[in-house]
Each structure stands twice: as structure tokens, then as C-alpha cells.
Amino acid sequence: MEPKDFISKRGASLKPSAIREIFKYSGDPSFISFAGGYPDPDVFPVEELKEVSVEALDKYAKKALQYSATEGVPELRQYLVKFMEEEENVKGLGEENIIITTASQQSLFLVGLVLIDPGDVVMVEAPTYLGALSAFDPFEPDYVSVPTDDDGIIPEKLEEMVIDLKKKGKKVKFLYVIPTFQNPAGYTLSLERRKRIVEIAEEQDFLIVEDDPYSYLVYEGERPPCVKSFDNSDHVIYLSTFSKTFVPGFRLGWIVAHKDIIRRIAISKQAADLCTGAYMQYITYLYMQKGHFMKHIEAMRDIYKVKHAAMLEALDKYMSDIPGVYWSKPKGGFFVWLVLPETVDCDQLFDKAIEHKVVYVRGSAFFADGQGKNTARLNFSQPKVEDIDKGIKILADVIKETMGV
Ligand code: PMP
């Protein structure tokens, strides 16, 4: 039997994730890893979870251990409707506007399945979350990268590009955007731009898929309102996840959208996994209802704030004298984006960093069109504070050596 003779064209076309491929280094304790995107496991609320998971069985065992509705358990859906109104200022929602998913990676896949026909244009940030590209790839979109600056996507460019694409007879289906503490670049879309991209979506009639895993992890200033809160015409599909604010191991997320889109997503989800585990949903519901969730976010912010400061301080200390090197100054989230002079041989740099037991993700993995050879994503949520300083010093020395300065 020759397995490859049986693999479909689509199955064979999927590429392994550039991040997951370097897990072998991140998992090795002799390495300092800036590669992952995981929460710090020390922040997991184990003690509260022990209590709440027993209570969920006491109260809901028969429902929690059973198959559940594809859309999610009603208690959590209703709670999230209220949460979206109170915390995100998204008004007028009903249960029919929300579906619980097996976290945002599944949400992205289902959104791709329901919206993308081969050749449809999907506008993405440059750079963008590479897991979204993997989720959309099987549906064969044409990606168009929209230029960004320190305030995120540039609306004037977006508008120009959409008008131009439409003139060429292309169907622009949606803009995929991570507006807050973007993965990988760390920047945040300004308030004016949030309003403006919704106006452009309404005027030009395309959708916005807003992916929002990080906005609660804010370390400086206020959490910005979600793009969805400016949407009065159902042009925005909002995705969120409990992976960064609670625990990724539960694999829980949700989508907010027009009820007909939610319905199509629910039908696709039936085909994918019937439903997301009800027990995890009941635990999460109780955890939120008891007020643990927002308190936990506060506690996490205190921990990540220290790491965020350590990363920005280390970059300042070791890299500010390297000519042509600059980095994003995120106010929250998990990542800093490092830009090196175009002349740096980035493959050589990556190999040298590995030799010195430091690993990061090459920035080119986050571009739909192969740009970004001279960029890198640095994660600060996972490494220990002392390792951040040590690792950035090593990386700075490796960069200097590669540049010959
Ligand atoms: N979107 C973005 C922007 C992410 O960074 C991630 C996780 N790295 C996801 C979606 C997927 O997360 P999950 O499936 O754990 O919710």
C-alpha cells in the first residue's frame, strides 16, 4: 500500500504550520523560545477549576455528559449574548446570532467553508495570522494583502484595492482582520480606522471577519471597542475564544453573526464534529457566572504586564543601537514584531539563533504573498522573565554578527 496514492489533491496541498514545525525546539528546555503563542501555564486557574468542574457535574451531569445542540449549550450562549452586550457593546443580539465552536481555529475553518468559493477574494493584513491562512486555504481563495502601519490596516488602501478588484470583476468576500494586539505584529487598529473599515464594508458590500483573541489582555491604556460594535448592518462576523483569556485546553470559542450565517455555520459544524463538548461549556458558564472570569483576566494581566515590560526593555537595551532594526510597541497581547534590514540573510540568522539555543518564528510565514523575509515574531507570554532578557541579548548578538556590525 502506498499511502500517497490515496491522499486527495486537497489533502496533499495542505502545508504544515511553520509554528508547529518548530515546536521541537520550543519543547526542549535548553532552548529559550520566543516561538510559541501559548499562554503561560502558571496562569491557569487550577484551584477554581477543581471546584467549578465538580459543581458542573453536581448541577448539570445529565446534560454536561450528553451530546448537546450543535450551536452550544443554551446557558453559555445566553450568557455570551449578555457578555457581548455588556462588555463589547454589541446590541440587539439573540441566541440565534451566536454559536459555540471548538475554539477559533474551528471558527476560521467553518467561516472559510461557508463563505469562500474558489477564486473569491479574501483581503488580509500583511502580515496576518498564519493559522487563518491554513484554515481558508482548502477553499481556494485569492488572497489580497492590504498594507498596514503602526495603527493597523490602512483604510484608504483597503478602499482603493476593493474598488479596483471589483472593477476587474472580482468578488471580494471578506476582510479578515485581527484588530487588537494583532498576531503577529502586535499593533492595534485605531478607533477611527475601526469605524472607517465598517463604513467601507457597508459601502462596498463585503464582510469583515473580526478575530479577537487578545483584546482583554491589555497592559497599557484601555481595551478598544470591537469592530463589531460599530456595525449596524450585519457586515461584521465576530470571532472570539477562551484560549488566551481562560484555558486553551478546553477548545472553546464563539462566533457572532447574522442568524442566517450562524445557521450555515451550524450545519457545517454538524458535519465536522456534531457539537463542542458540553461539559467544558458548563464549566465555563459557571466560571463566568460566578465572576471568576473577569477577575482571572485581571490576575493574568498583572503577570503578562511584567513579561511585556521585560521584552520591550530588553529590545531597547540590546537592539536600539543596531542600525535599521525596529520593532512594534504593542500595548497588550502576546507578540512583538521585529523588522531587520532587508540585507540580513534571514535563513542564516534563524540557523545561527538555533545554534545559540534561541528560537522565534520567521516573519515570512505570516504573509499571504511571501513578503517579510526580514521580519520575526517574538512571543513574550511563554518565556520566563529572566529568559526574555537573556534570549534577546543572544538574539541581538546573533543579528549583529550576521550584519557584521
Ligand atoms: N486567531 C488568532 C489570531 C490566534 O492567534 C489564534 C491562536 N494562536 C487563533 C485564532 C486560534 O486559537 P484557538 O483555536 O485556540 O481559539
- Nearest Cα residue to atom 8 of ligand 1: 37
CA dihedral 99, 102, 108, 111 (to 10 degrees): -40
CA atoms within 13 A on the CB side of 164: 9
Q: Measure the CA–CA gap between 51 and 346, rounded to whole angstroms.
A: 49
87 Cα: distance to centroid of ligand 1 (angstroms): 20
CATH of the domain at 376: 3.90.1150.10
Ordered strands of the 335-339 beta sheet: 326-327, 335-339, 375-379, 361-362
What pLDDT digit, counting tens, does each position of 232-277 carry?
999 999 999 999 999 999 999 999 999 999 999 999 999 999 999 9
Please check whether residues 110 and 251 belong to one and the same domain.
yes
387 lines ligand 1 (CB under 6 A): no
Identify whether the C-beta of residue 129 lies closer than 8 Å to the C-beta of residue 211.
yes
What pLDDT digit, counting tens, does each position of 122-133 carry?
999 999 999 999
Please check whether residues 194 and 286 belong to one and the same domain.
yes
pLDDT at 18 over 80: no
In this prediction, residue 25 has a pLDDT band, given cuts at 50, 70 and 90, of confident
105 lines ligand 1 (CB under 6 A): yes
Please check whether residues 271 and 211 belong to one and the same domain.
yes
Residue 106 forms part of a structural domain: yes
pTM as predicted? 0.96
Residue 50 forms part of a structural domain: no
Element (H, E) at 121: strand 121-125
Please check whether residues 37 and 66 belong to one and the same domain.
no
3-state SS, 306-350, equals: HHHHHHHHHHHHHHCCCCCCEECCCCECCEEEEECCCCCCHHHHH
213 lines ligand 1 (CB under 6 A): yes
Which of 256, 291, 326 is the last residue in one of the domains? 291
* 152-153 and 148-149 strand pairing: antiparallel
pLDDT of residue 21: 66
Residue 199 forms part of a structural domain: yes
Please check whether residues 300 and 283 belong to one and the same domain.
no
Task: Pick the closest to residue 178 from 131, 143, 142 (CA basis).
Answer: 131
**Dihedral sign, Cα of residue 156, residue 158, residue 159, residue 160:** positive
Element (H, E) at 235: none
Please check whether residues 373 and 256 belong to one and the same domain.
no
Q: Measure the CA–CA gap between 314 and 390, rounded to whole angstroms.
A: 8
Instruction: Tell me the ipTM for this assembly.
Output: 0.99
CATH of the domain at 235: 3.40.640.10
What does the DSSP assignment read for 184-230? TT-----HHHHHHHHHHHHHHT-EEEEE-SSTT-B-SSPPPPPGGGG
The structural domain count of the chain equals: 2
127 lines ligand 1 (CB under 6 A): no
Residue 320 burial (C-beta neighbours within 10 Å; 0-12, 13-18, 19+): exposed
Question: What is the domain range of residue 313?
Answer: 3-45+295-403
Please check whether residues 231 and 258 belong to one and the same domain.
yes
Please check whether residues 244 and 190 belong to one and the same domain.
yes
Q: Measure the CA–CA gap between 12 and 265, rounded to whole angstroms.
A: 25
Q: Which of 109, 183, 240 to mutate to test the pocket of ligand 1 (most atoms within 8 A of CB)?
A: 183
Which of 263, 291, 319 is the last residue in one of the domains? 291
Residue 116 forms part of a structural domain: yes
186 lines ligand 1 (CB under 6 A): no
332 Cα: distance to centroid of ligand 1 (angstroms): 15
To the nearest whole number, what is the mean pLDDT of the chain?
A: 95
Please check whether residues 332 and 371 belong to one and the same domain.
yes
pLDDT at 27 over 90: no
131 lines ligand 1 (CB under 6 A): yes
In this prediction, residue 405 has a pLDDT band, given cuts at 50, 70 and 90, of confident
CB environment 88-107: b (16+ within 10 A), e (fewer) = bebeebeeebbbbbbbbbbb
Which of 236, 260, 291 is the last residue in one of the domains? 291
Q: Measure the CA–CA gap between 358 and 338, rounded to whole angstroms.
A: 15
Report percent pLDDT > 90 for the chain: 89
Please check whether residues 267 and 396 belong to one and the same domain.
no
Please check whether residues 364 and 231 belong to one and the same domain.
no
382 lines ligand 1 (CB under 6 A): no
Please check whether residues 252 and 395 belong to one and the same domain.
no
